[in-house]
Amino acid sequence: MDLVRENMPKSQFMLSTETYNKITRVLKDLERSTRADLVLFCESNGVAVTHAGNPDHLNLSGFSSLNAANYAATREMATMLGEQNAFKFLFLEGEENNIYICNVGFEFLLSITFSKSVALGMVRIYASKAVKELQQILEDAKQSDEQISEKVLDDEFSALLNDAFDSSFNL
């Protein structure tokens, strides 16, 4: 576990089962509210975390990677235009389907795939609400992860210190 933590970017943290379930519930609520075909929660590097809806017709891993690549390209365009915090969302309009991609923060993205018959305004409103909920869930998870990390370090330090004392006094 320590090796995994050491190699993770500073902004990354482990998602517990409880956090994963909370995120999935938010996605399912968003899917119902917007009548979306697919709601995808992924890392900004393209790794799918969880989803709601029916991805049967999609390679979910590939779709997640393309969502992340699209958002990364848009972020770079924002930088070129002098935008300080990149663009907050990306909208892709197709003949039959649309995709709405949001930056959740904490290195995560939210992607909503929906039919042309669904109003974009409705998707934007519910997506904004979902992003706020996800941010709170992730903030809580990050704080919990930091507390656990501190506890593990405290326990490890105590054990090492005890071993050092024991060996110093030949106990």
pLDDT tens column, 114-140: 999 999 999 999 999 999 999 999 999
| Token couple for 91 | 């909208």
What is the tally of structural domains in the chain? 1
Collapsed DSSP state (helix, strand, coil) of residue 41? strand
pLDDT tens column, 102-115: 999 989 999 999 99
- pTM tops 0.85: no
Q: How far apart, in Å, are the Cα atoms of 133 and each of 27, 93, 105?
A: 10, 26, 12
∠ Cα 41 44 45 (to 5°): 115
Question: What's the rounded Cα separation, in Å, for the pair 101 and 28?
Answer: 16
Q: What CATH number does the domain containing 108 carry?
A: 3.30.450.30
Give pLDDT, residue 47: 96
pLDDT tens column, 50-99: 999 998 889 999 999 999 999 999 999 999 999 988 888 999 999 999 99
User: What is the span of the domain harbouring residue 157?
Assistant: 2-168
